[in-house]
Amino acid sequence: MDKYVLSVLVENQPGVLSRVAGLFSRRCYNIDSLTVGETENDKLSRMTIVLKGDVQSLDQIKKQLNKLIDVVQIVELKPHEAVYRELALVKVKADEATRASILEVVDIFRGKVIDIANEHLTVEMTGDHDKVLAFIDMMKSYGVKEIVRTGLTALGRWSN
């Protein structure tokens, strides 16, 4: 199964997210990742939907999405035509003995410490999927207390 990324421009109205998610549920398709946010036009939101499947499934999903009245545009974002990013907040155990070495790793990965407590650090990490996974893997040796991730968000490289 291949991974596909869809950028879906929708009207910024209550219930749109529910209708899109319901469409996937009714058709027994799984959403691997979903991010939604307002665009430069406050009347529109952009959904970045990551899914796995074959070409026929992808075509069917696009056709079904196009039938929804709130959907304005659907674009498949291929890796060479788009910028993909993820955000992760990672809470890592940190004491006086490990804090300096954790900060070195954060610096190498170009992360940002956003909260410091006596027993832990919270780090903001942005980048592509592999970078975020590599950082989390490095932090496991120190002790990861909590992680939250946005999932993939993407924007096409084309210009309008």
Domains of the chain by range and CATH?
Answer: 2-76 (3.30.70.260), 83-156 (3.30.70.1150)
Can you point out the beta strands (E) in the chain? 2-11, 33-38, 44-53, 71-76, 82-93, 112-116, 120-127, 144-149, 153-156
- Residue found under tokens 């109205």: 13
Query: Which whole number is the average pLDDT over 12-22?
Result: 93
pLDDT for 158: 75
The DSSP string of 46-65 is EEEEEEEE-HHHHHHHHHHH
Residue 29 gets which letter from DSSP? Answer: P
Taking CA atoms, 87 is separated from 35, 93, 118, in Å, by 11, 20, 24
CA separation for the pair 98, 12 (Å, rounded): 46
pLDDT confidence of residue 1:
84
For the residues 9-13, what does the mean pLDDT come to?
Answer: 95
Structure tokens of 17? 């997210």
Least confident of 35-49, 94-108, 145-159: 145-159
Question: Is residue 86 scored above 80 in pLDDT?
Answer: yes
In this structure, the number of other CB atoms found within 10 A of the CB of residue 8 comes to 23
The whole-number average pLDDT for the span 51-70 is 93
53 conformational bin, left if phi > 0, alpha if psi -120 to 50, beta if neither: left
